[in-house]
Chains A and B, each alone.
Chain A
Amino acid sequence: AQRVTQPEKLLSVFKGAPVELKCNYSYSGSPELFWYVQYSRQRLQLLLRHISRESIKGFTADLNKGETSFHLKKPFAQEEDSAMYYCALQTGANNLFFGTGTRLTVIP
């Protein structure tokens, strides 16, 4: 069965420090993976997707099929990055499953 695991519920880093939010998945098919972000009092929104290999707001994420991971990284955290981050897996059946989320706090 498909599963998305985000091991860290809370993550705090200082401004300017590197940040990595971990995501591991379990899925027998070919995965499509996403990161979603929810800023305070805003709706959930797409941050990036692995298939486009883009960098949004300085964030990148590489799909590692060997480690079944899709960790989100940013070399220098900013205060405005403080938010709730969700890793998500889309299956071949067109369903979208989420991890439990990681609350990132960037300390000034």
Chain B
Amino acid sequence: GAVVSQHPSRVICKSGTSVKIECRSLDFQATTMFWYRQFPKQSLMLMATSNEGSKATYEQGVEKDKFLINHASLTLSTLTVTSAHPEDSSFYICSARDGASLGAFFGQGTRLTVV
């Protein structure tokens, strides 16, 4: 099946710094990518949806200036957590789908810890 690679899998950063998470579709062109955040024992919360070449659509309550999403190519989307704070510590997961198939393929997730 299609593969989505997410990097890094774990990152620890200092409060106030920015962290970039990459999501790549390895063997298909991802026309749409999703970014999720998962708190302990809670569901995957959709943060934003991005289509290649256009601005991301953010869900209500998600700060677009804090969580910068770039989907510049059909195989790469990035999520940058700017000026990170300890409350941003979470598990972030990306997923991608091509234009033809239903459903989405998921990255392995990134555990972000802000100290």
Contact = CB atoms under 8 A, between A and B. Distances in A.
B106 interface: yes
A52 B108 CA distance: 26
A95 interface: yes
Interface residues on A, range: 20 to 34
A40 interface: no
Residue from A51, A93, A94 whose CB has the most chain B CB atoms within 10 Å? A94
A99 to B, nearest CB: 6
A86 B106 CA distance: 13
Contact of A100 (B42, B102, B105, B109): B42
A96 B34 contact: yes
Interface of B: 1, 32, 34, 36, 42-44, 46, 49, 51, 57, 59, 93, 95, 102-109
